[in-house]
A and B are shown apart, each in its own frame.
Chain A
Amino acid sequence: MTGLSDILHLLYTANLWQAALAAAVLLLLPALGGVISERSGVVNIAMEGMMLTGAFFGVVADLAWHNPWLATGVAILAGGLMALVHAVVSIRFHADQIVSGIAINIFAAGITVFLVNRIYGIQDVGHATQSELLPNFNVPGLDQLPFLGQVLFQQNVVVYAALILLVLVHIVLFRTRLGLRIRAVGEHPQAADTAGINVYLIRYGAVVTSGFLSGLAGAFLAIGVSNTFVPNMTDGRGYIALAAMIFGKWTPFGAFVACLIFGLGQAIYDNNSIIHVSPYLLSMLPYILTLVVLAGLVGRSSPPAADGIPYVPGSE
């Protein structure tokens, strides 16, 4: 069992946990988006596409203006715009939300590479030149703590932002009137409508927010963790975020725990040079774990009652 002891040895290094937290945040942002969207009753499997769109437009804006902050704003808006398409199609046109989500993901994969080709004239490679990066930030004082300092307080700015957003989303969803409304709309839209809540408005807001969060994750990926756009660079992270959302039973902190587990797996994977287990087998783990959770072996995980059902006023 050399593989296992190698992993155990890795687990003692702060480097690993630092990387794990960053990897977890890449998943956490779209997962939080998924939680918000699905809590309002709109199934969202399109985080992958929204993230990819954000990554692409983030790089484009960064190359144009050499300002990562502005670029991040553009990425967030681009993600939100893709989400708005999903929202209009699913809410206004009562479309099947899964088909719409698949369409978003395919559209994003196609349009980004198409535009790379149109803008930079590169045939299907998609490598733009270097861009200005979102900086790391060491929290003064705290970053000197042994072990924890490196793991928690020597991170990219997006990591801190994501952790704040995590708490914020939890508070909004479970401690405010707005959160109560979002959850009401997702559980029983007819009743919510009767109580005077604007079902469509809440759902539009929730879906577009999921796009903002996914777009931010895309920016972190393209101009934080790496510094270029590569075709399909999200590499299934939006789908792992979906798994994390389910794993976490549609709650922000549950999703965060799942993201940490998956992020740790990713970090171990990235250190594969010193372990002897095939990294590819290791990569299956998030998906297998999610199936195990779905099978009810670790307690039931069921979606909000009206998740995925278009709301038509007056219908029962």
Chain B
Amino acid sequence: MTIVRRVVGGLAMPLGSVVFAFVVGGLIVAATGGNPFSAYAGLVCGGFGIGCTQGENPALQISNTIVFLTPLITTGVAVALPFRAGLFNIGAEGQLLAGSMACTAIGIKFSSLPTPILLPMVLLGGMVAGALWAGVAGVLKATVGAHEVVTTIMMNYIAQWLLRYLIIGGPLQLAAGTSKSLPIGPGARLATLLPSDNSLIVFGLPASVYRVHSGLFIAIVAAAVFAFLLWRTTLGYEIRAVGQSQRAARYAGVSVRRTIIVTMLIAGAFSGLAGAIQIAGVDHNLTDKYFSDTTGFDAIAVALLGLGSAVGIVLASLLFGALHAGGSVMQSDAGISSNLVLVLQALILFSIAANFLGAIRQLIPGLRRQAGAPPPETPAAALMTEAAAASEPGSQAT
């Protein structure tokens, strides 16, 4: 009974936040003279291939959603793991870019190698690059107490400019005047699930238009590794202990410094993997599309909405992947800018952070908690109590 109540209670917050966002988003659409129902119908069609009216291919829409959700899972994990240690990794985007740059560089340099050698090389290379990118923040946090939020923001921008340098006038540029890199070698590419064969017709379209690739399975394995690491290993115990209370963890013999650095390294490796998979599975080269990539920021919403659990992260990735895929259909079918998706995402974040749901519940007499019960803590705050405490001078990580 208590388990059922906990599951329902656990789902109420994320579902409520999503409902809140869609209601407010719908009001914004209506207030600006649009039709929220046709906007959301476009989103559902684009995201899940359901109820399409303009002849969209449902299978293709679902394929697009899966392509979008794949990197969200791995970067979501990269945000959720540090959360457990009381660290806020805003740097998943920079780490992802570092991973995609390393993957591309290796994939170009060794383009003649066969798949069994080159593919592991580019994926591992991406993970190492992401780990190093996050490691800077981890080391600065553990040694001088520099706040990881600030350092990871700086590292994001350094990655952005490095990317521009590499593909505009830098060593990876395809040709003068272009803003993209050379393609990676054929051995560095992840297989698509369907053969890229134009004569094979699947669900009414040539098989080559479906971009779904085997990176999806890597991402799901990554989520499983995250859950195993967190709950079944000594390191996971140490990470959770540091997140609960650095002082108590220290008394229990945990090296807080070491845990912080290792946590950030692992998180960065997950983000770097996401970047490498995007190159190896989808794009096969770096393009200016990556200048405006927001996967690493979407990952923050994914981690929070998924309540930091592996299953939650996969489900939240599905939602955001569908929103991304749906945005363009909403724009073409309903004439509502796909940027509404960003608005919805921000509203979900507000709702989770501020626990509007809890506040609304307090206003409804039947649902109000018994007097004397402590106010429900917001999940973000619960995940981050130690992060806040650690920014106090004198309680720096030692």
Contacts and interface: CB of A to CB of B under 8 A. Distances in A.
Nearest to A239: B153
A94 B378 contact: yes
A107 B297 contact: no
A202 B155 CA distance: 33
B151 interface: yes
A312 B331 CA distance: 44
A124 B393 contact: no
B339 interface: yes
Interface in A84-129: 85, 89, 93-96, 98-100, 102-104, 106-107, 109-111, 113-119, 123-124
A305 B158 CA distance: 28
Contact of A124 (B144, B339, B381): B339
Interface string B126-165: 0000000000100010001111011101110110111011
A144 interface: no
B380 A95 contact: yes
Most chain B CB within a 10 A radius of its CB, from A239, A243, A291: A291
A242 B151 CA distance: 11
Contacts of B147: 294, 303
Interface stretch (B208-216, B227-235, B340-348): B340-348
A89 B350 contact: yes
Interface stretch (B49-57, B61-69, B242-250, B351-359): B351-359
Contacts of B168: 280
Contacts of B297: 102, 106
A248 interface: no
Interface size class of A (residues with CB under 8 A): 35 or more
Contacts of B153: 45, 239, 242-243
Interface stretch (B184-192, B261-269, B384-392): B384-392
A284 to B, nearest CB: 5
B300 A99 contact: yes
A113 to B, nearest CB: 4
Contacts of A136: none
Nearest to B389: A309
Given A110-B339, A113-B339, A118-B337, A288 B158 contact: yes
Contacts of A296: 144, 146
A308 interface: yes
Nearest to A92: B354
Contacts, number: 169
A246 B350 contact: no
A110 B341 contact: yes
Most chain B CB within a 10 A radius of its CB, from A99, A103, A107: A99
Contacts of B170: 278, 280
B33 interface: yes
B22 to A, nearest CB: 14
Nearest to B379: A96
Nearest to B356: A93
A207 to B, nearest CB: 14
B58 interface: no
Interface residues of B, number: 60
A294 B146 contact: yes
A124 B337 contact: yes
B60 interface: no
A102 B90 contact: yes
A180 B355 CA distance: 32
A314 to B, nearest CB: 12
B309 interface: no
Contacts of B154: 243, 287-288, 290-291, 294
B150 A294 contact: yes
B158 A107 contact: no
Contact of B164 (A110, A236, A280): A280
Given A99-B353, A308-B391, A295 B140 contact: yes
Nearest to A100: B353
A62 interface: no
A114 to B, nearest CB: 4
Contacts of B343: 107, 110-111, 114
A310 interface: yes
A2 interface: no
Contacts of B340: 110, 114
A281 interface: yes
Given A236-B157, A308-B391, A110 B346 contact: yes
Contacts of B392: 305
Interface in A210-254: 232, 236, 239, 242-243, 246
Interface in A240-290: 242-243, 246, 278, 280-281, 283-284, 287-288, 290
A300 B347 CA distance: 36
Most chain B CB within a 10 A radius of its CB, from A89, A96, A284, A288: A96
Identify the 8 closest CB pairs spanning chains A and B, nearest first: A110-B342, A107-B346, A93-B354, A103-B349, A280-B165, A117-B337, A95-B353, A96-B380
8 contacts: A103-B349, A114-B342, A123-B331, A280-B162, A294-B144, A295-B140, A295-B144, A305-B393
Interface of B: 28, 32-34, 88, 90, 136, 140, 144-147, 149-151, 153-155, 157-158, 160-162, 164-165, 168-170, 292, 297, 300, 304, 331, 336-343, 345-347, 349-350, 352-356, 359, 378, 380-381, 384, 388, 391-393
